[in-house]
A and B are shown apart, each in its own frame.
Chain A
């Protein structure tokens, strides 16, 4: 069964802290994605990766960085968390390289609160 897991369902951090959100997929997918979900805005792409050590900026990369050292793992890093980064973060993976007709598989999400 296809599986995308995220390290935490809920996370509370303080302003200025460095935050790591981890995502692991067991499907050998080339592509992995990080989104944030906010009411009324849907899902917005932060970063994606199409291969190990490769990354591309999405619509809202400011304040975030990513790391993909292994194919199955894609980490989202908040270098210095701010209150406006309080959100639901969703990780997804997709097979097939540039086959954009394939659906994405999503993890359960991490609800991050920055105080």
Chain B
């Protein structure tokens, strides 16, 4: 069965610090997709990134970067030079190729203090 673990329940940093959010997944499928979503205080989940299981290239988008490692079944998310607007709950999610269900982790609440 597919499973996603976000062991960090809450993280608090001071503005401009770098922060990494961990995500570990389990799946028996060889084809699967990993996602990160951001949930700001307004409540609506916002899609950030998708990675498929055949593409282990790391991705950078501005201050955001993602490290996908199949060997450790991890898909970690790093925010460089954090800002107050980064404060949100972040969810990692897994979708298998033959399963309509997307499995979410419990989420990590990030607070960035000025």
Residues on A facing B (Cβ under 8 Å):
9, 31, 33, 35, 40-45, 48, 50, 56, 58-59, 88, 90, 92, 98, 100-101, 103-109, 111
Contact = CB atoms under 8 A, between A and B. Distances in A.
B95 A100 contact: yes
Contacts of B33: 100-101
Contact of A42 (B99, B100, B107): B107
Q: How large is the interface on B (under 10, 10 to 19, 20 to 34, 35 or more residues)?
A: 20 to 34
Given A43-B104, A104-B45, A104-B102, 16 more contacts: A33-B102, A40-B9, A40-B106, A41-B106, A42-B106, A48-B100, A59-B101, A100-B96, A100-B98, A100-B99, A100-B100, A101-B52, A105-B47, A106-B46, A108-B42, A111-B43
Interface of B: 4, 6, 9, 33, 35, 37, 42-47, 50, 52, 91, 95-102, 104-107
B101 A58 contact: yes
B45 A106 contact: yes
A91 to B, nearest CB: 10
Contact of A48 (B52, B95, B101): B101
A101 B100 contact: no
Query: Considering the complex of A and B, which 6 residue pairs feature the smallest CB-CB distances, nearest first?
Result: A106-B45, A42-B106, A43-B104, A109-B43, A103-B47, A42-B104
